[in-house]
Amino acid sequence: MRIRWDRFNDDVKPLVANRKTLDIACGDGSNVLRFCGEGSAGIDSSAEAVRNAKKKGLRVEKADAISYRPREKFGAVTMFHFLEHIEAREDVKRALENAYEALEPGGLIIVKTPYAYDSGAWTPYDHVRVFTMESMRQWLEISGFEIIDRYTFWHFPFDPYVVTVLGQIKLKFIKRDYVLKLLATFNLIRDLVYIARKPVSGKWKPTGMPHYGF
């Protein structure tokens, strides 16, 4: 497991840039849909967010990931800062299973959520669930996914778009690792990221719930 300041930005953009992507809990689309491949779409439960996304010309509909039933297949599904808002374990499972069904064989799911052992995961009033690296692995594998990569990264508690821009700033005279250690003292937000794949060939899909973690 690696901790990298810019790892998330470097990894995610190439993965979705040429893929038809479904962004779950997409907001106004400015975080992910702005650099996804042709035919990409988003869903969000907020009517205001959907209206704002449509004003930008993005393909977005009002729906929630728990009851959503995909009508088409995608090359990638993204879930950024969404699962921590789901209280019932059964609903977490449904959301991940719906994402699985939305993917074509070999399609990727990219999940980002606050890391359970960072205090920022518990602070926001609307965070009702947290995940460890181990519990997220179990959630994804129980839903049928094959794990490709996982890591954590630090960021400022700013808007994701601002974080994306700041994460691209290159430090000329100071090593980035030193800056990370210094800033970590001030309790930056730490997220975990999982990249997984829907198997190309049909495989046995486990059932049940994770038995470890949150």
Q: Which residue has the higher pLDDT, 202 or 12?
A: 12
pLDDT given at position 1: 41
d(CA 146, CA 11): 18
Return the residue matching tokens 């669930």: 129
Predicted pLDDT at 214? 53
Where b means 16+ CB within 10 Å and e means fewer, 156-175 reads eeeebeebbeebeeeeeeee
Q: Looking at residue 47, what is its pLDDT?
A: 95
The model's confidence at residue 73, banded by pLDDT at 50, 70 and 90, is very high
Q: For position 84, what pLDDT does the model report?
A: 84
Q: What is the mean pLDDT of the chain?
A: 79
Q: How confident is the model at residue 30 (pLDDT cuts 50, 70, 90)?
A: confident
Domains of the chain, each with CATH number or no CATH? 7-197 (3.40.50.150)
For 141, counting Cβ atoms within 10 Å of its Cβ (0-12 exposed, 13-18 middle, 19+ buried), the class is middle
Question: With 80 as the cut, is the pLDDT of residue 50 above it?
Answer: yes
pLDDT grade, residue 192 (50/70/90)?
A: confident
The alpha helices in the chain, defined as continuous H runs, are 7-17, 47-55, 89-102, 133-142, 160-166, 176-184
Say if residue 139's pLDDT is above 70: yes
Residue-wise pLDDT for 151-176, tens only, equals 887 655 544 444 445 445 555 555 55
Q: Do residues 80 and 31 touch, judged by C-beta distance below 8 A?
A: yes
Three-class DSSP category at 212: coil
Distance CA 10, CA 108 (A): 16
Q: What are 131's two structure tokens?
A: 């995940």
Better pLDDT: 84 or 165: 84
- Residue owning tokens 């995940």: 131
Residue 162's contacts (CB-CB under 8 Å, 6 or more residues apart) are 156
Beta carbons within 8 Å of 161's beta carbon, 6+ residues apart = 30, 31
